[in-house]
Amino acid sequence: LGLSAPSQDGAGVAIGQLVLAALLVVVIAVEWRRRPRVGEPPRPPRFMRVLEGGGPGRAFLIGIALIVLNAKDGALTVAAGAKLAEESPGLLPAIVCVALFTVVASITMIAPVVTDLVMGERATPHLRRAHAWLERHGQEAVLVTLAIIVVVLVVQAVPHL
């Protein structure tokens, strides 16, 4: 978790982390209440309907919008940036950290593409099963991930207050 001794200038970052954690709790509560109940069919995300009638340009723009507006990605990015700012490791270590963060953050998008490229048609049943699972449980997985981020933000912030 990168817990370290409290610093004098870390109070501002800590308050920011706690505000972000509180906002995420609100997002989690709202989205948890909106999720389909047992026995209800999963609701596809709204962006999927928009994608159906468009070409690659529309898909690219929607992808960029989803990255920018994604609460999980935004929270992770803000938390990582706050931690990096708090530690101020220097230029080269910061570049390495940002590169590693980018690779790890992109794995869930890159893995299906690489799997399809490497395995070809053999990947299809595996990717379909993963798609079906994500369609049914993806929202809960994101909410659990957000809850973990909330805990990490709070644990990192409290020693700096």
Per-residue pLDDT reduced to its tens digit, 125-155: 999 999 888 888 888 888 998 899 899 889 9
Which string of DSSP letters, residue by residue, matches the chain? Answer: -------TTHHHHHHHHHHHHHHHHHHHHHHHHHSPPTTSPPPPPHHHHHHHT--HHHHHHHHHHHHHH-HHHHHHHHHHHHHHHHH---HHHHHHHHHHHHHHHHHHHHHHHHHHHHHGGGGHHHHHHHHHHHHHHHHHHHHHHHHHHHHHHHHHHGGG-
Query: Is pLDDT of 66 > 70?
Result: yes
Question: What local confidence, expressed as pLDDT, does residue 48 receive?
Answer: 67
